[in-house]
Structure 1
Amino acid sequence: MLIMLIDVCSEEQISSMSLLVFMKLATCLINVPDDVCCKFVSMALRKLVMAVNESALSEMFSVSKDWFDSDKETVRYLALKVFAEFSQYFRDTKLSSSKLIEISCSVMLSLSQSGLMETKPENIISASIEFITLLLEPSKLEVFRNVVCSGQYITKFGEVLVSCLNCSSSKDLQLCSLFLDKLLSSGDAALVDKFNEAFDGGFETICRILCIQLGVKRFDQRVSEQALKNLAVLMIGLKTNAFTQITYRLEKMCWKEVVRYHDQAFRRLDLDDMCRKFMPIIYREIKRKSVKNTEELYELAMEVAVLFKSKLVKSSILTGYHFVKKNRLRRRKSEGRMPKQWLCLIQLGKL
């Protein structure tokens, strides 16, 4: 109902009552237990932020900042949830950009405090990481570079990330893994390198922690999938010794599952999925399509391919795969010569 009213009313009408509506919606973000209702509240809040004028928007920012400066943890948590909503649909104006930088600096300053993991509640840290992850979206990436990656914040944030990855909370693990996924998917190599150099051990340390996550007794499928997805990307950039150590850890993890957890195959299935992610890289080298087309890379790729062939499939199965592949290629060639109308009839079973 509120969303419909925002659509119908003019900017002046909405702005005149925006602060009261904003405060009511903001409190609902943390008080509504139902996830579906919470999504509708978030939608209404974003709609409100986009519909008001600059003056009303500035007023809402100021109220949120006052909440974040409060001594009460519940009020600070509320401010972080509101910050996340602001960042989702912030407007490309000088006011919005400056305010986004301002609240980003406040969040990073809060995470940079000494004894953070011992003194801050878990929900405050989780909400802070969730907000910073939103800054990795393309429209806000410049804010991430200027604020999060500045020298005074990035080292401390790296330490917080490692600490959260080491904790037993499933929610924190998922948030940190999602942050890594967003960072690696940003397409900014310089940004990834800077983050790698920000703390001791860099991505090598994170890879070891991700391996530990996969080996825990209380297995979480979602955490495992995200961890393996990040490992598949991070391991490519590791040095040879570190890469060997991580693969050894993964091998031991699979053997442990075989010996101790007879009724489980989660880790082995996920690891097979991870190996599948490496296959395009190996295939590229075999076909000599890589930019760095060296004989050494080609020979290594062929050795790996032969190893997979000998370990994973029998010759009879491989022959069957070749037969299926040839049939597919033959069908594609024949379909390529046919008019589109004929192809439609074939698919409908009329020819």
Structure 2
Amino acid sequence: MHSLSLDAQLHRFLQWIDQTRPTRLAVVMDRNTERDCLPLIQPLLPPHTDFLCLSDTGEAIKTLEHAHALWSHLDSVGFDRTSALVGLGGGTVTDLTGFVASTYLRGIDFWLIPTSLLAMVDAAIGGKTGINLQGAKNRVGTFQTPSGVSLHPPFLRTLPKRETRSGLAEHVKHLLLTSSTPLDGAQLTHWMTDGDGLDLDKVGETILQSVTIKSRIVAQDVTEKNGLRKQLNFGHTAGHAVESWAMQEERDLLHGEAVAWGMRVALAASTLKFGDPNGTMAQAARWIAKHLPCPVIPPDAETLWPWALQDKKNEEQTVQMVLLQDLGQPVTDQPMPFEAFDEAVRLAEKMV
């Protein structure tokens, strides 16, 4: 795993370029990061750098078509195994960049510079890459650790409030998996603003806290062989289902917003299976509903069920969810028949 530190001046990134001296270098980005973030790093890059701006943004770029376009460019201009890619952007950009780099010529080096909170605390951490397939999330991908990740908090200044909240969902997930502290006491109120209002010192502390939590889990199960890494799927079974539905229906739903709703469903399912004598699960669900609301009205469980059946953690067509026995006590591989899923979705809508 990469070292757990901020790279506020991008020194580690520059050292990597100086030490490896790639024969060719390309920066992959979308039009948002081209506008808001590229000007900061462009003066630092070698003169032979290519700048590859994707035609779409968000989940729309995680397709085989975009991967093919990048592979074709690398091949046409002569990228070899001593060349490298840089992913500059949010989680979809870092996912796609890692996937393209890990598959081109069976793998070339890549460095990630996440520019959104979600990418900093989750997507760029842990060595997973991927693209979507037939509307389903991350169906094609690889496990490949980047050469490094530069966590540069000032990039968060470019984000609207909705994007900061979306990223906060993954941090909340890490807290629910590892801490018994109620979310009301987790000192998260400083995130309830747009990028301009962020306290970068507190932001840096939060990022490092989340990266440390995820990295410790991943280090014990890098390629998901012993089940420990499955904990990080908390909230993602229902979350990916509603996100896939939203993509199909062309609804405006960010990944973190979908995960936040999915955590509410997982907390409801946990309550139904293990009980909630102290009310901690219900309290967490209410906090999420209040501070990380879902901007669309999710469909019923019957509509979501076909998408839930496509979740990567399922076994033998049985939906498997990560639940909590209590805050900080995750349990993986919990079978979830449709009837239980339907009950959890209904209860989640009442836990507000």
Tell me the TM-score normalized by structure 2: 0.30
Q: Could you say which structure has the larger radius of gyration?
A: 1
Q: Which has the higher strand share?
A: 2
**Higher RCO (CA-CA < 8 Å; seq separation 6+):** 2
